[in-house]
Amino acid sequence: MNDTLIAAFLGLVEGLTEFIPVSSTGHMLLVAHFLGFTQNKTMEVVIQLGPILAIVALYWAKLVHVFSTAHKDPASLRFIVSVLIAFLPAMVIGALAHDFIKAVLFETPKLIAIMLIIGGVVLLFVDRAAPAPTVMDASEVPFGKALAIGFIQCLSMIPGVSRSGATIVGALMLGVSRRAAAEFSFFLSLPTMLGAVAFDLLKSRHELDFSSLTAIGIGFVVAFISGLIVVRWLLTYVSTNGYGMFGWWRIIVGGLALAALFAGY
């Protein structure tokens, strides 16, 4: 498979899985392991920017309104602060634990498969047992709940846990509605993913190679378009169906991956 097809395929995987609670990183690493793709640091970093841009494009009007009125509207300012509070734990813990995560956890496909299964079981349980929601809008998440969600998000530093999965599960258990939990996860992804990408770029600046600009660009565009589609669909789907399907998806993918690993693949 040539670089262009690999980039398009990885962009599709990234865009389809970034915002649903199934772990985009886990899926990307398992795909690379089983299909024998060589990791391209530049492509990996740039492809992640596609879903970030998708969120900005979809919520452009809301983002402009919030930031342009923050100086005079307490609700807008409070929303910005709540997202930044939720981002704070990942910023601190991610910076401190980055080298350990990259050197140890990212090289263990069995850990990814196991965490996919465990996360699936947790998601199925929380989707049924979460308390009745008291927060119905993503912009109204209280500071205390935002900080708690931020700490729970840090669990996603273990590949296979899922950033969106951790934040959504945390939000549901804290009384945030299904739709609001997904939307808050979207907004929290902006500083979290931008921070992670910037930190990765800084750490791996000597490894970056832009010789395959066409392939990298294709991966980015595919990730952006598929991310747009998923975000639009997800909000409608979870409002009426919940997150159970994603729990079963995690269990099936993790189980198949674990079986393949034990079989020597």
DSSP string, the chain: --HHHHHHHHHHHHHHHTTTTT-HHHHHHHHHHHHTPPP-HHHHHHHHHHHHHHHHHHTHHHHHHHHHHTTT-HHHHHHHHHHHHHHHHHHHHHHHHHHHHHHTGGG-HHHHHHHHHHHHHHHHHHHHHPPPPSB-SGGG--HHHHHHHHHHHGGGGSTTS-HHHHHHHHHHHTTB-HHHHHHHHHHHHHHHHHHHHHHHHHHTTTT---TTHHHHHHHHHHHHHHHHHHHHHHHHHHHHH-SHHHHHHHHHHHHHHHHHHHTT-
pLDDT, residue 106, reads 62
Is a pLDDT exceeding 70 seen at residue 23? yes
Query: What is the pLDDT, as a whole number, of residue 96?
Result: 82
Please, which pLDDT band fits residue 172 given cuts at 50, 70 and 90?
very high
Name the more confident of 7 and 172. 172
Is a pLDDT exceeding 80 seen at residue 156?
A: yes
Q: Is the pLDDT of residue 169 over 70?
A: yes
Q: Look over the chain and give the mean of its residue pLDDT values, rounded to a whole number.
A: 89
By the 8 A CB rule, do 10 and 31 touch? yes
pTM given for the model: 0.89
CA distance linking residue 142 with residue 48, whole number of Å = 29
Q: What is the mean pLDDT of residues 144-151?
A: 97
With cut-offs at 50, 70 and 90, classify the pLDDT of residue 264.
confident
Is the pLDDT at 2 greater than 90? The verdict is: no
What pLDDT shows up at residue 183? 95
CA 222 to chain centre: 17
pLDDT of residue 204: 67
Q: Return the pLDDT at 82.
A: 97
Say whether pLDDT at 265 is over 80: yes
Per residue in 28-63, pLDDT (tens digit) is 888 888 887 766 666 777 788 899 999 999 999 999
Average pLDDT of the segment spanning 112-128 = 95
Residue ranges of domains in the chain: 3-262
Residue 84, pLDDT above cutoff 90: yes
Kindly indicate the confidence band of residue 145, based on its pLDDT and cuts at 50, 70 and 90: very high
Say whether pLDDT at 178 is over 90: yes
Confidence of residue 237 (pLDDT cuts 50, 70, 90): very high
